[in-house]
Amino acid sequence: MDVSHLLDELNDAQRQAVTAEDGHLLVLAGAGSGKTRVLVHRIAWLIQVHHVSPMSLMAVTFTNKAAGEMRGRVGRLLDLRPEGLWIGTFHGICHRLLRMHAAEVNLPDTFQILDSEDQYRLVRRVIRDQQIDEGEHPPRQVQGFINHHKDEGRRPGQIEHFDQGFQARQVEIYQRYQDYCERSGLVDFAELLLRSVELLRDNPERRAHYQARFGNILIDEFQDTNTLQYALVRLLAGERNHLFVVGDDDQSIYGWRGARVENVAHYNRDFQPELIRLEQNYRSTRTILEAANRVIDHNDDRMGKNLWTEGEQGEPIRRFAAFNAEEEAEFVIARIQDWIAQGGRPSDCAVLYRSNAQSRLFEQTLLREDIPYRVYGGLRFFERAEIKDAMAYLRLLHNPHDDTAFERVINVPARGIGERTVARIRDHARTNGQSLAQAATEQVAQGGLSARAGHAVRSFLALVADLTEACGSASLAGAARAVVERTELVAWYQTREPADRAEAREENLSELVRAADSFQQPFEDEQAGLSPMASFLSQAALEAGEHQAERWEDCVQLMTLHSAKGLEFPLVFMAGMEEGLFPHQKSIEEPGRLAEERRLCYVGMTRAMQRLYITHAESRQTYGQTSFSRPSRFVAEIPEPLIESIRSGFRVTPAASGREAPPDTGGLALGASVRHSRFGSGTVVSLEGQGPNARIQVNFEDAGSKWLVLAYANLERIG
């Protein structure tokens, strides 16, 4: 059989990795060196050359999207659909394990996944029920506490606490939250992993079964695995199985979420893998690559690597210092327009930023210029309110005792059931150890509610019962359609919201029906005996937890630096490169976190293939206040010849007359001495623009030369 196509487009080191003999492997290599490509080819190689059954392979990637792509690429390389192959995220794979062994891990067959928003609401509910002070124990922070301990594999009983006050209460909330989840058959993201690890750890039979099944386990983006994920890998690998691990310590960017780059060292210690380094980069120009290498050089404790490219030198990186965030957005969009005018595609362009809030100005400008765009990391489809409402009904059809779903929609659309009634039902449920649905039914039957409330609750229960009956034999799409129609969600949103918002919700709900209609149940889920409905509900919850970008239509891509991981674009903008924003204020004081920010910068820069722009603004509005910032230290870490400043290259062309009106100096003249609250004193060296756009350049004694927006600068004249 000719297998040359599996090796043709690989260099020697890549080929060595793909064709390695059985054993453990670690491919440690920088960005764009072909790690993901090698992993895909390795899967195909094992199947085609070693005749390994796809059933005995497990491949783990960072997102469902990446998993889907990987499946497609393996399929194309092999020219067939690799049935039985487990490719997925750690969460997806653990979900599958739990579905198959629900009873053994004490979960009902109908267990549901809690996404992060559901989890937040539930934590808040527990805090309120306990009458604990939300100021002292903010739900978000408690949610972080719970997830942190779960990620480290700790149950409430295993958490050491040193006082009987604050810490003890946090642990208690965790315990009660957990009890609630157990009662209602709910599993949060971290729990998916923790239960799976417990299953394999505590059940020798299951462990032996899976160790015998998965002879080869391949993992991408290994540097961002957490403690539990590594524990799972060890349990699955056992003594005999082969691990194929690829990663880049310089791209570890999820430490704040529990990822442990030390796992690379632990893997070396525990498995003594053969080390293969890939040193040739195929993604970026020489300039971009060298600049990224020089920035990351400022970090200590690196595993160290060389990256080179045969690619051309390329253009210098361009740096633009904007007066303010508005001008920054104008600049970026103007460059995108140039790109498109020269025949480039909108989807080649990515604007990357540190935090989601930065997208707004870019969106505004893109909208105004009528350029199609897409923002990632905001609310994804399955996180939208109307979708979650409809899904909650579907969940109730699937499992009437799903309390989270019950609570979400008992009064959606509004039917006059108030918080007091819900509290009464909840109390009844708690006292009698029942689900909310059972409690509500009993309360109605026993006349435990006021006449009005009783009537409303009865109508809600009747709606759910009707739907259940109507959907008993319906297809998944039929059930989704029935929910959308009979619940009258659309009409309800129409009465509450402006027409355009309600219309968008209506479109989304139709999209949900379409999504259900075209849903293809994964082969593995089917094999595991899952109903299409169960698969669909789980898939939705898993997807809601992801913030990875997807490339859809041909539109400009806006996303956070974190979401850009693993992707590549011909034209990249890194916006908001300012101290305090990036590196983030919270990270500046802590060396460990600063190093993680620098890795994030490295990730951002290495997404660029041909052209990279770095922009920063001297002032921007945050929380309604103007703040002034210096350029990010990372900008200064790019050596001079690789980066070119183009502040003067971007000028708004003067009015058609060709004559610019004299600048509005606001009473300040060239040469005047001024003082700025932050930059100290200096001399005015340049003035331009009109009214709110008037700008002033000041040579500050300590802070150097700055352009400021006159209207915001609050300069005080001295001398």
Ligand X SMILES: Nc1ncnc2c1ncn2[C@@H]1O[C@H](COP(=O)(O)OP(=O)(O)OP(=O)(O)O)[C@@H](O)[C@H]1O
Enzyme catalytic residues: 35-36, 220-221, 251, 607
Site size toward ligand X, by CB under 6 A? 18
Which partner in Mg ion, ligand X, none is near 526 (CB below 5 to 8 A by kind)?
none
**Residues 185, 403: Cα–Cα separation, whole Å:** 9
List the one residue from 118, 151, 224, 248 that touches ligand X (CB under 6 A): 248
Whose Cβ is closer to ligand X: residue 291's or residue 456's?
291
Site size toward Mg ion, by CB under 5 A? 3
CB 35 → ligand X: shortest distance, Å? 3
Residues 258-287 that bind ligand X (CB under 6 A): 282-283
Decide: 697 and 715 in contact? Cβ < 8 Å: no
CB 36 → Mg ion: shortest distance, Å? 3
Decide: 443 and 423 in contact? Cβ < 8 Å: no
Q: Does residue 312 bind ligand X (CB under 6 A)?
A: no
Residues 559-578 that bind Mg ion (CB under 5 A): 566
Is residue 304 annotated as involved in ligand binding? no
**What CA–CA distances, in Å, run from 577 to 172, 285, 454, 563?**
42, 21, 58, 17
Q: Angle of helix 189-202 relative to helix 204-213, nearest 10 degrees?
A: 100
From the list 485, 556, 566, the residue with the least C-alpha distance to 248 is 566
Is residue 238 annotated as involved in ligand binding? no
CB 550 → Mg ion: shortest distance, Å? 16
Which partner in Mg ion, ligand X, none is near 282 (CB below 5 to 8 A by kind)?
ligand X
Interstrand relation of 695-700 and 569-574 (parallel, antiparallel or unpaired): unpaired
What DSSP character marks residue 106?
T
Decide: 280 and 291 in contact? Cβ < 8 Å: no
Nearest residue to ligand X, scored by beta-carbon proximity: 34
Whose Cβ is closer to ligand X: residue 282's or residue 712's?
282
Whose Cβ is closer to ligand X: residue 278's or residue 528's?
278
CB 35 → Mg ion: shortest distance, Å? 5
Lookup: tokens for 280? 């040739």
Interstrand relation of 349-353 and 569-574 (parallel, antiparallel or unpaired): parallel
Which partner in ligand X, Mg ion, none is near 546 (CB below 5 to 8 A by kind)?
none
Q: Does residue 347 bind ligand X (CB under 6 A)?
A: no
Q: Which stretch binds Mg ion (CB under 5 A): 29-37, 51-59, 159-167, 543-551?
A: 29-37
Cα–chain center distance at 661: 48
Q: How many CB atoms lie within 10 A of CB 193?
A: 26
CB 222 → Mg ion: shortest distance, Å? 11
Nearest residue to Mg ion, scored by beta-carbon proximity: 36
Lookup: tokens for 355? 């935090």
List the one residue from 6, 32, 33, 36 that touches Mg ion (CB under 5 A): 36
Is residue 29 annotated as involved in ligand binding? yes
Is residue 34 annotated as involved in ligand binding? yes
Is residue 36 annotated as involved in ligand binding? yes
Which partner in ligand X, Mg ion, none is near 24 (CB below 5 to 8 A by kind)?
none
Decide: 49 and 79 in contact? Cβ < 8 Å: no
**Residues 571, 336: Cα–Cα separation, whole Å:** 9
Residues 21-60 that bind ligand X (CB under 6 A): 29, 31-37
- b/e map of 244-272 (b: 16 or more CB within 10 Å)? bbbbbbbbbbbbeebbbbebbeebbeebe
List the one residue from 6, 13, 14, 694 that touches ligand X (CB under 6 A): 14
Residue type, 57: L
CB 506 → ligand X: shortest distance, Å? 39
Q: Long-range pairs for 436-439 at CB < 8 Å and ≥24 separation?
A: 436/401, 436/403, 436/406, 436/407, 436/410, 437/396, 437/400, 437/401, 437/403, 437/406, 437/461, 437/464, 438/401
Interstrand relation of 25-29 and 242-247 (parallel, antiparallel or unpaired): parallel
Which partner in Mg ion, ligand X, none is near 609 (CB below 5 to 8 A by kind)?
none
CB 606 → ligand X: shortest distance, Å? 6
Q: Does residue 508 bind ligand X (CB under 6 A)?
A: no
* Cα dihedral 355, 358, 359, 360 in deg (nearest 10): 140
Is residue 429 annotated as involved in ligand binding? no
Which partner in ligand X, Mg ion, none is near 241 (CB below 5 to 8 A by kind)?
none
Decide: 259 and 223 in contact? Cβ < 8 Å: yes
Interstrand relation of 317-324 and 57-60 (parallel, antiparallel or unpaired): unpaired
CB 603 → ligand X: shortest distance, Å? 7
List binding-site positions for ATP. Answer: 29-36
List binding-site positions. Answer: 29-36
Which residues contact Mg ion by CB under 5 A? 35-36, 566
Which residues contact ligand X by CB under 6 A? 9-11, 14, 29, 31-37, 248, 251, 282-283, 566, 568
